[in-house]
Chains A and B, each alone.
Chain A
Amino acid sequence: SAVISQKPSRDICQRGTSLTIQCQVDSQVTMMFWYRQQPGQSLTLIATANQGSEATYESGFVIDKFPISRPNLTFSTLTVSNMSPEDSSIYLCSVKKGRGTEAFFGQGTRLTVV
């Protein structure tokens, strides 16, 4: 398994501002992902965080809105830029230790935009 720590666990932000969420894993992992979970909904994949290169975004998500960094094999950040109330969601970091294996999840960051 993997222990994933996300910071902050929750935040209330003003519209138009940006928030950076950090994800720290207790061991080196092959793959890191960011998901969004809107209230009462399932998880939607935002992007794959690639070490040393630009993240790979899913349809409907763009780098300008959700810039991602992954400087090493244990850490990644997701920034939610120029926030609006529609960005209010839980954002979750996820990791996989190898191909064809299960993903582990952090506790998530509950974001409320007012």
Chain B
Amino acid sequence: GESVGLHLPTLSVQEGDNSIINCAYSNSASDYFIWYKQESGKGPQFIIDIRSNMDKRQGQRVTVLLNKTVKHLSLQIAATQPGDSAVYFCAENNRDDKIIFGKGTRLHILP
């Protein structure tokens, strides 16, 4: 079957530090992965994506790393800010072109 899961349900990070959110996936046939951010009362918001032919992709303050050998995905947020407080989901675009979500990690920013 296919599943996307996360290692930690809650992550607390000091403001200004870097955050690293991890995700494991099981479907080796997946070729496209997405990170979403969901703030309270809102729908998920696209952050960054990566295709399986890449190992790393950078955006503004965010970096996604993909390790296909161990089926692991991570999201790095540089210089974490209070506005980064949210739940973060990794998601997989499966072979039917549907987005399947992992469990989610709540990022809590410490002052």
On A, residues with C-beta under 8 Å from B are 4, 31, 33, 35, 41-45, 48, 92, 94, 96, 99-100, 102-108
Contacts and interface: CB of A to CB of B under 8 A. Distances in A.
- Contact residues of A: prevailing secondary structure: strand
A42 B89 contact: yes
Contacts of A105: 43-45
Given A43-B44, A43-B89, A103 B99 contact: yes
A4 to B, nearest CB: 8
B93 interface: yes
13 contacts: A33-B99, A41-B103, A43-B44, A43-B89, A92-B43, A96-B99, A100-B32, A100-B97, A102-B46, A103-B91, A103-B99, A105-B45, A108-B42
Interface residues of B, number: 21
Interface string B30-59: 011010000001111110010000000000
Contacts of B45: 105
A99 B51 CA distance: 13
B61 interface: no
Interface string B83-100: 000000101010001111
Interface of B: 31-32, 34, 41-46, 49, 89, 91, 93, 97-104
Contact of B99 (A41, A94, A107, A108): A94
Contact of A43 (B31, B49, B93, B101): B101
B97 A45 contact: no
Nearest to B6: A42
Contacts of B49: 102
Given A102-B46, A104-B46, 10 more contacts: A42-B101, A43-B44, A44-B101, A45-B99, A48-B98, A96-B99, A100-B93, A102-B99, A103-B34, A103-B91
Nearest to A108: B43
Top 6 A-B pairs, shortest CB-CB distance: A105-B43, A43-B101, A103-B99, A42-B101, A102-B46, A105-B44
A66 B34 CA distance: 27
